[in-house]
Structure formats: structure tokens, C-alpha cells
Amino acid sequence: MQSENGAWLRVRSLSKQFGGARALAAVDIDIHRGEVHGLVGANGAGKSTLIRCLAGVTAPDEGVVTLDGAETRIANPRDAEQAGFAFIHQELNLVPHFTSVQNIVLGTGLATRAGFVDRKRARRAAAEAAARVGITFPLDRRVDELSVAERWLVMICKALVRNASMIAMDEPTASLSDNESQNLFKVIRDLADDGVAILYVSHRLDEVLDLSDRITVFRDGRVTDHAERGSLDKRGLIRAIVGAEVADAVRPPAVDIDRSTTPLFAARNVRRGRWVRGVSFELHRGEVLGLGGLVGAGRSELARLAFGADRLDDGRFELDGTPLRSGSVPRAVRNGIGLVPEERRAEGLMLEKSVAYNMNIAVLRNLLTTPGSRSSAAASRSPGRPT
């Protein structure tokens, strides 16, 4: 890792405001080659806005970015890629029905003069990147057949075939088991040893402290602290994030649940393919039931079954003791059952629509009069019609 005066990437006085909301306020940060640099802060502290500015997705209002001492303008994602920046977001941007090789080389320009893909060259580049991060699964396997951890490795390979000098990772362990996380940490350390800078964003402070060479703390759009490895413990890092000492958490007293009554919701020997095999539980009013397990253990699949998004092979769900018909989302909504899916962007939200539209999307009669919908606009233009 280089000295303070030899920072490879320097950000100075970077500022961004969205309307009246200040997202970044004169942010200064240095990134060195071969370091793991942790970014921490509460939601809305400015971490994502900084990354979006470096990625060329958001234009800052003010500020300067320099690479190796030369000022660099990042006006779009292509500029960011040419600068050697790569970004892996929590929602992985992969084409599900493409193979790992196809995803790794997609958009790299590995083509012949005639414009066709040079398959041998593409496979060779993908294989070299795969060997570098320790991939053992076949690269001809489709991405939708891979685990989340394996997809992360494919995304890292995408960055490597583009000769990325810095890889920003956003919540990389959010959906990984402990063993998968440890394997990823080894890959990150190996990349850093090879001179790649890693910008590591996570709310898991223990792993940030263990993995990072340096940590930058954000609060309310400002950088409030810089910490070298070993200079902060977890309590000190929390204090830097929130701006005050935080009292130890106190577990609330257990709620007294009357289990002699009919459960509000129950699963009776529920089965679905190889994911959910003979699951039973009871959930009473006022109770919080946690579902634990490793990635791929069947937790999300069980939630989809309860919501009617998938049809049961066997067993049944009950609501107030009454059996529910399997595989009907509209019926689940009418019965007061909701689902917040694991993949919010792809399965839970329509990003181009307003907040009000998304909040009402499950109830058609509300949606017809939601501000921003076509029906609402037409109603506002119709004379004599109530709004």
C-alpha cells in the first residue's frame, strides 16, 4: 500500500445536493492501490452517492477526482470503466440465462475484426480471471443455476477481464453464509495483494474492522472520521457512525402468547420440490416467527409459497384454521397476507414509478386514483368528475 502522499485515487470537496437534501458535503477521500478501504455509515449517510459519482451515474455539483495526480472527469459509466473502476452492487447485474463465460465477457469488446465474438479469446480471458479468484464450477453453467456466492465470483471476474484497478463492493456478504463469506474475504485479500484497490461497503462492522486496511466513516453526507486498521474497535466505530455513545442493547421482555387458541397462520407438512420438504409451523397473533438457515436452505421458497407466488406439491397453509388454496397471489392479498421479497428491485418495486404508485400497486382500486397514474391524470382532466 502506498504512502499518504502517494494515493492512487483522490477525491476532493465532492458535493451533491438533491433538491433541499444534501447527499454529499465537501467529501475528501484517498484510495491506495492494493488496499481494502471500508466505507461505513447509516443508510442515507452518503456512501452510495459517492459510489454513484465515481461510477459516472450521478454528476456531482462540485469536486475534483484525480488519478495518479491527474484530474479525471467521470461523466458517464464508460469514463469510469476506462479509469479502471468496477462496481458490484448488492443486486447483481447478470443475465440469468447466459453462461458464466458469456456474462464475464459481455461488453468487453473481445471481438474479431469482422465484429464477431472471438470465442477462444473470450474463454481464455474468462478462464484466467476464474483461476485468479478460485472458481471451481464449470464456466459453461448458466448463471441462474449458480449460488449467490458463485454469482459474486462471476461479477468479480467481470471486473478482472476489464483490468479493473478498483472494485467497489456493496454489501457483498448480505446473502452469504459464514463459509461463503470467508471464501470471499480470501479472494478480496488476494486481489489486494495483487494491487487491486477494494472499496468495501457494509453494515456488518465486525467484518469491516477485520478486513479493511483503512475505514472512512460517513454521517449526514460528510466524512466524520478516518481510521487505520487497529485504531478503532466496534464500539468506537459505532460512536463515529452515530455521533454519540450508544447504550448497550436491552432485549425486550418476551410477549405472552396464548397458544391454546387457533393459530392465525399455520403450515402443515408443506412441500415444494427439493427446496421445502415437510415444513410445519404455527404463528399466533402478536408473535414474531424467525426463519433461519443458510442460503439455499428454503427460507425464501417457503415465504413465496405462503404468499401464493408458487404452488404447493403437498401439504397446506391455514388462516384462522381454514385451509388456503395454494398458488394464488390475489387470494393471498385479499386474505391480508403480504410479502417483502428478497430481491426488492427485480421482484418488489417498479423503479420508474412513484412511491405512492408502488405503495398501492397491490390494490387496484387504489392504484386507479394514485397520483401519477394515467387514470388519475385522466380523472383530473374530466369536468364534473370528483378527484
pTM over 0.95: no
Query: What's the pLDDT score for residue 371?
Result: 57
Q: What is the pLDDT of residues 131-161, one digit of tens each?
A: 888 888 999 999 988 888 888 889 999 888 8
Query: What CATH homologous superfamily does 4-242 map to?
Result: P-loop containing nucleotide triphosphate hydrolases (3.40.50.300)
pLDDT tier at 249, thresholds 50, 70, 90: low
More confident residue, 251 or 15: 15
Q: Which residue has the higher pLDDT, 359 or 265?
A: 265
86-108 in b/e burial notation, b at 16+ Cβ within 10 A?
Answer: bbbbeebebeeebbbbbbbbbeb
pLDDT of residue 283: 92
d(CA 201, CA 294): 22
Tell me the residue ranges of DSSP E strands in the chain: 9-18, 21-31, 36-40, 62-67, 70-71, 85-88, 166-170, 197-201, 214-219, 222-228, 265-272, 276-283, 314-319, 322-324
Q: Tell me how far apart the alpha carbons of residues 167 and 151 are, in angstroms, rounded to a whole number.
A: 15
- pLDDT interval class at 368 (50, 70, 90): low
Residue among 54, 38, 42, 48 at smallest CA distance from 18: 48
Of 100 and 121, more confident: 100
**In this predicted model, what pLDDT tens digit does every residue of 319-361 receive, in sequence order?**
999 998 888 888 888 888 988 887 677 677 888 888 888 888 7
Q: What is the band of 381 on the pLDDT scale with cuts at 50, 70, 90?
A: very low
Judged against a pLDDT cut of 60, whether residue 113 lies above it is answered with: no
38 pLDDT tier (thresholds 50, 70, 90): very high
Q: Which residues contact 18 (CB under 8 A, 6 or more apart)?
A: none
Contacts of 276 (CB under 8 A, 6+ apart): 270, 298, 301, 302, 305
Q: Is the pLDDT of residue 379 over 80?
A: no
CB atoms within 10 A of CB 304: 19
Could you tell me if 308 and 326 are in contact, meaning their C-beta atoms sit under 8 angstroms apart? yes
Of the two residues 146 and 212, the one the predictor is more confident about is 212
Residue 3, pLDDT above cutoff 60: no
Q: Does residue 88 have a pLDDT over 60?
A: yes
27-56 mean pLDDT = 92
The pLDDT score that the predictor gives to residue 209 is 93
Sequence spans of domains, the chain: 4-242, 265-348, 353-387
Per-residue pLDDT averaged across 50-60, rounded?
92
